[in-house]
A and B are shown apart, each in its own frame.
Chain A
Amino acid sequence: DTEVTQTPKHLVMGMTNKKSLKCEQHMGHRAMYWYKQKAKKPPELMFVYSYEKLSINESVPSRFSPECPNSSLLNLHLHALQPEDSALYLCASSQSYYGYTFGSGTRLTVV
């Protein structure tokens, strides 16, 4: 299995809602990442988990809360988002000395 699976593929949520994005990989990668990507821009790093511990938080607002329940799963909990948070949210995983494997992303719209 050489894939990173993200669910849901699309999500529309109101500014008062709470929702979660999920990511799963079975490649044995020990680093997992959340990225945010706006149209016609490169991916922007949000969080890095290494060996299930949060190792990098790129000063992301607290309305985004990551969680790594085990080495294969990564969640991103969303609460009280703003319309400007609408974007493609990408999960990725990697092993040292190799490139990242990205999921297809969750397209999030905040209304």
Chain B
Amino acid sequence: DAGITQSPRHKVTETGTPVTLRCHQTENHRYMYWYRQDPGHGLRLIHYSYGVKDTDKGEVSDGYSVSRSKTEDFLLTLESATSSQTSVYFCAISESAGGAGYTFGSGTRLTVV
């Protein structure tokens, strides 16, 4: 997807290990979001950022932390991965809050064994 890159695309990790997912954008958008997508559920917001060093919790933030030290990068960290965090994680960017220009990355499939 143009302007937004997630890495890695796939990862398998063991329970209890720390994991960091990266979202990189080249659009200079102010807002960045992390979602998880699970079967039978809509995308659920984990954390979002409204500027460098400005972040807030979403609907399902327990067990996750985020950091944004630069406009272009938004990191999602699982401090101690659990099997319930096996999911597909999507990053999204937008120019304004709830704006029409909401763009998603291609996702990271994380498996915790």
The yes or no verdict on A and B being binding partners is: no
